[in-house]
């Protein structure tokens, strides 16, 4: 475990940054994009769909649509910030940030190609759920433990944000499943998809904000 002067240096290197301004801006942008997607879907449910171009652009869960690209962009930002944090840190803290950067990149890639939906079609929804729970229950405690062991100041906040994201991504997916199993109408399905995709984006934004607040400064003591 990193302790003594190394631990104090790592803690001293942390600089909390105000994130409220840009977080509110991104939240407003995401809220607008997802709400327009909901309105488009509701109009289609009422038989008054807009043009195909508008429908595809704002589809809540289609590959290449603005809502999906918004969430993908958040994960890309997570990966970039993690890579910056790794570059500004010394081992072993650097390796913890590298793990988070890889995770952010994997989440971005999975979102942009809709890997979750593809896995459900290949292996079934329940198997996908069990796999996601397994990765969450094993991977996140290990990430937290490694962060504590290496005295990474961001470990608690970032791991907690990842737990919130995983709970939203897995839990809201089950809400959408229940709505589908109940054979609800298109309006109920539209709101369920809006809740699922919007909740995933919101928790991804929370993760990005947590990371930004714990991003190490560019100049480290002794660098």
Within a domain: 78: yes
Which of 75-84, 128-137, 186-195 comes out lowest in average pLDDT? 128-137
Within a domain: 6: no
Q: Which parts of 95-200 are beta strand (E)?
A: none
Within a domain: 219: no
46 — pLDDT class (breaks 50, 70, 90):
confident
Within a domain: 80: yes
User: Inter-axis angle of helices 93-112 and 125-149, to 10 degrees?
Assistant: 160
Mean of the pLDDT values across residues 195-222? 85
1 — pLDDT class (breaks 50, 70, 90):
very low
Within a domain: 106: yes
Query: Containing domain of residue 37, as a range?
Result: 19-213
CA distance 160 to 70: 22
pLDDT digits (tens, 9 = 90+) for 56-75: 999 998 888 999 999 999 99
Within a domain: 2: no
CA distance 221 to 219: 7
- Exposure on the CB side of residue 102, measured as CA atoms within 13 A: 8
pLDDT of residue 218: 75
Are 43 and 83 in contact by the 8 Å Cβ rule? The answer is: no
- Per the structure, the count of domains in the chain is 1
Within a domain: 10: no
pLDDT digits (tens, 9 = 90+) for 136-153: 888 899 999 999 999 999
Q: What is the mean pLDDT of the chain?
A: 84
pLDDT of residue 213: 87
Share of residues in the chain with pLDDT > 90 (%)? 56
Within a domain: 220: no
pLDDT at 221 over 60: no
pLDDT digits (tens, 9 = 90+) for 167-180: 998 888 888 888 88
């Amino acid at each position: 475990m990193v302790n003594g002067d190394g631990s104090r240096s790592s803690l001293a290197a942390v600089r909390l940054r105000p994130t409220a301004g840009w977080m509110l801006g991104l939240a407003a942008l995401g809220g607008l994009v997802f709400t327009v997607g909901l309105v488009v879907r509701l109009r289609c449910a009422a038989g008054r769909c807009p043009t195909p171009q508008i429908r595809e652009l704002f589809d809540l869960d289609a590959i290449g649509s603005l809502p999906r690209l918004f969430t993908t962009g958040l994960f890309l930002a997570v990966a970039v910030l993690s890579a910056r944090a790794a570059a500004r840190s010394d081992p072993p803290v650097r390796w913890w940030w590298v793990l988070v950067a890889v995770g952010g990149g994997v989440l971005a890639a999975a979102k942009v190609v809709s890997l979750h939906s593809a896995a459900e079609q290949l292996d079934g929804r329940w198997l996908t759920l069990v796999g996601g729970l397994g990765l969450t229950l094993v991977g996140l405690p290990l990430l937290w433990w490694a962060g504590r062991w290496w005295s990474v100041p961001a470990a608690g906040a970032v791991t907690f944000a990842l737990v919130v994201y995983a709970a939203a991504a897995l839990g809201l997916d089950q809400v959408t499943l229940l709505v589908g199993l109940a054979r609800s109408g298109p309006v109920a399905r539209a709101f369920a998809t809006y809740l699922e995709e919007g909740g995933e984006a919101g928790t991804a934004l929370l993760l990005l904000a947590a990371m930004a607040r714990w991003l190490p400064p560019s100049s480290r003591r002794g660098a």
